[in-house]
Amino acid sequence: MNMTRSSFCPLCDCKCPVLLHLEGHNVVKVSRLDFLSKGSLCFKGKNLPELLNSSRRLQHPLKRVGERGSNTWQEISWKEGLEILREKLFDLRLKYGSETLIWDQGYGSIPPYLLRFLNLFGTPNLLSRSHICSQPRKNAQLITFGALASPDVENSKVVIVWGKNKLSTAKGTSYKLLSARKRGARFIVVDPRQTSLARMAQVWLPLRPGTDGALALGFLHVIIRDGLYDQNFIQQCCVGFEELREQVSVFTPAETARITGLPEKDIISAARIYAIEKPASIEMGNGLDQHTNSFQSIRAILSLMAVSGNLNVKGGNTLLSPSPLGDISRSESLPEVKRQQQIGKNEYPLLCRFKHTAAAPTFIQRLHESHRESPRALVVTKGNPFVTLAQAEMVQKALTKLDFITVSDFILTETAKWADLVFPAAFASEGLELLLYDPALNDNYYADMPKGLLLNRPLPKFRNTKTDTELVFALANEMGLQKEFWMGCVEESFNERLQPLGLTLKDFGEEGLLTLSNSTRSSGVLKTPTTKVELFSAILQKEGLSPLPCYSEPQESPLSSPELLSSYPLIFSSFKSTYYVNSSFRWSDSLREKEIEPMAEIHPETAAWLGLADGQSIEISSLRGSCRMCVRITAAVPPGTVFGVHGWEGRANINFLTSNEQRDPVISSNPLKSLLCSVKGL
């Protein structure tokens, strides 16, 4: 029997609404569902049926029977697997305390039920990649504005896309951006690499990797020097303007050009376009998150929005009031003494301030040094820390010191091969899920759409797999938390989450779709200590950090580490593949055909200097280690740089180059996009 079902694409955090076409229990086709937004599916989304139906997916729980890393397994039942995990967690909690458990949520959003489980278990330690993926931007906005500043590109005359290759990595949320370009909005793209968006821009600013903060401060210098700032907005809504004026006085066009490598005239022109041809918006991307100076660079960009008068106006970056689902995290169940034991809380309090997350670099360092307060048990859901955390060799040595590792994933990843217990994972869209699309809660993806709810009903079960939500419910039941988990009834939990919106599941029609009233612009009273935009931040000052946006060189760069240039003369940066999501889905034949080998992009001048031919195998080395890729010679990257694709396992893993010790002092970001390297042909 053929049928269609409203659902969502689970392959990245965009969660694009889709229509699934089924024949029996198989999804045979996926098409875009014009619910909340328009546009087309990306290449990954179009290949969702292959991933859902793949015979390569794990079918049964596995228990390790050989030495760790030997990749020898015994198939077991879910009942036995959950019993093993329960016994290990209870035993380790009794010996070392509940904080001995750390849970790593990899690709996909963190299920609200996971936070509930961790709080009830008694551990503050949730691991994610948020320190290098969105959290620097979100925390900087919450500290500066008290809310997220969503770009209203639909009404912008000028759009700056800063550090974001959206057409490649988030095409499903690009409709309004492309529409703005089509109707004549001017595009300024800030990116060292000439992406597809950069090729569409009237102004492309290929700055030196890691110098975004200097460019933003240089923009501010021009705007303030030329009297292009919004005096009324500054007087009524901001604190710290005079201090900021002094701070940016040294970032003249000449000085900014020296740091960034951009022509002075381009810096001046772009700053004036943004300040004069209003309204203008800035869409920030993940490219800003992966440097040792990420947080303050983003703060400088946020100050640019406010000073220019492009904040909280139609067509600028608007501060929206969220309408969240009900909080079911049970945060009050986590004792304060346990909360204080969160890994990284002392070193990076502002990373932990707005999110239940541990500092991944501190976690790896503690394990590596056999710190007495290190966790002993790790559960990984759809994550691959062996590949995706900085300084891979250090990560791999550190994780093997854990007493017990459990992994839930689609296939045996490099991390799963070192686990003691492996569960077969289902895609989120294969199970019962409730999704809220709200740009006020996640401007990175949902700025392209108004608010809405999607109730995803399960696909026909034909595999012995569980979604992340189903796994958490099953483990909670196994550990005696049935009452706290609605006696296993996920639907009942949905009704509790819907209460703040005045809705129940009965309000959903057969399609499972509900639109909500659009997010409203926040009032002039902001959720900051001064109730205003904090160009000078009281929160940062209290933590002993620079209260004003400032620029510091990447901790490893031609200017900060000139002594390394004789051995490592090139700047290494990274980029994401169009066809995969971080380290996921290279087991798909259709996707693999599009990108068979890991590629590193090098400018023709650099390739000629190194004697490299297009397609040649190369070894890229840094102070930490080396990786191997194939070279793609292209003028899309600046001379003197190497751009390697992120996410490959084995010797192609770029995180053999990156540093766990080098971190942003506020948010613990590692330099995946700005470090020194050398290259030789093989």
Helix axes of 360-368 and 392-399: crossing angle, nearest 10 degrees: 60
Give the pLDDT score at 444.
58
- Please identify, in words, the CATH class of the domain defined by 1-53: mainly beta
271/2: higher pLDDT: 271
Give the pLDDT score at 275.
98
Assess whether pLDDT exceeds 80 at residue 37. no
Q: Band of the pLDDT at 528, cuts 50, 70, 90?
A: very high
Can you tell me the mean pLDDT for 583-610?
94
Task: List all residues 6 or more positions away from 25 whose beta carbon is below 8 Å from its beta carbon.
Answer: 459, 460, 461, 462
Give the pLDDT score at 377.
97
Q: Band of the pLDDT at 495, cuts 50, 70, 90?
A: very high
**What is d(CA 528, CA 323) in angstroms, rounded to the nearest whole number?**
19
Backbone φ and ψ for 436, nearest 5 degrees, come out as: -110, 125
426-449: b (≥16 Cβ within 10 Å) or e: bbbbbbbbbbbbbbbbbbbbbbbb
Task: List all residues 6 or more positions away from 424 whose beta carbon is below 8 Å from its beta carbon.
Answer: 57, 58, 59, 60, 61, 408, 410, 463, 464, 465, 466
Contact 229, 276 (CB under 8 A): no
Task: List all residues 6 or more positions away from 65 whose beta carbon is below 8 Å from its beta carbon.
Answer: 72, 73, 74
Give the pLDDT score at 520.
65
Q: Just give the CATH number of 68-128+325-437+452-515.
A: 3.40.50.740
Q: Band of the pLDDT at 353, cuts 50, 70, 90?
A: confident
Reduce the DSSP state of residue 470 to 3 states and report it: helix
Q: Band of the pLDDT at 523, cuts 50, 70, 90?
A: low
The 3-class SS string of 90-143 reads HHHHHHHCHHHEEEEECCCCCCHHHHHHHHHHCCCCEECCHHHCCHHHHHHHHH
Helices (H), 308-391: 336-339, 349-352, 360-368, 385-388
Assess whether pLDDT exceeds 70 at residue 343. yes
Q: Just give the CATH number of 562-681.
A: 2.40.40.20
Domain 136-321 listed as CATH 3.60.20.10: no
Assess whether pLDDT exceeds 80 at residue 303. yes
Q: Per mean pLDDT, which range of 81-90, 143-152, 611-620 is the poorest?
A: 143-152
Backbone φ and ψ for 33, nearest 5 degrees, come out as: -105, 115
Assess whether pLDDT exceeds 90 at residue 442. no
Alpha carbons within 13 angstroms on the beta-carbon side of residue 115 total 16
Q: Band of the pLDDT at 679, cuts 50, 70, 90?
A: very high
Per-residue pLDDT of 46-89, as tens digits, reads 999 999 999 999 999 999 998 998 999 999 999 999 999 999 99
Give the pLDDT score at 446.
60
Q: Band of the pLDDT at 443, cuts 50, 70, 90?
A: low
Q: Band of the pLDDT at 461, cuts 50, 70, 90?
A: confident
The two structure tokens encoding residue 67: 């030495």
- Give the residue among 137, 138, 277 at the shortest CA–CA distance from 212: 137
The two structure tokens encoding residue 602: 């090098």
Domain ranges of the chain: 1-53, 68-128+325-437+452-515, 136-321, 562-681
The two structure tokens encoding residue 101: 């458990």
What single letter denotes the amino acid at residue 132?
I
Give the pLDDT score at 640.
98
Q: Band of the pLDDT at 451, cuts 50, 70, 90?
A: confident
Strand partners, 406: 379, 421
**What is d(CA 47, CA 50) in angstroms, rounded to the nearest whole number?**
6
- In terms of Cβ atoms closer than 10 Å to its own Cβ (0-12, 13-18, 19+), residue 457 is middle
Give the pLDDT score at 25.
83
Give the pLDDT score at 519.
64
What Rg do the C-alpha atoms of the chain give, in angstroms? 24
- Give the residue among 488, 504, 459 at the shortest CA–CA distance from 49: 459
**What is d(CA 450, CA 432) in angstroms, rounded to the nearest whole number?**
23
Assess whether pLDDT exceeds 80 at residue 2. no
Strand partners, 384: none
- In terms of Cβ atoms closer than 10 Å to its own Cβ (0-12, 13-18, 19+), residue 369 is exposed
Give the pLDDT score at 16.
87
DSSP conformational letter for 288: G
Q: What is the mean pLDDT of the chain?
A: 93
Strands 62-64 and 186-190: what pairing? unpaired
Assess whether pLDDT exceeds 70 at residue 34. yes
Task: List all residues 6 or more positions away from 655 whose beta carbon is below 8 Å from its beta carbon.
Answer: 387, 388, 389, 390, 391, 392, 395, 672
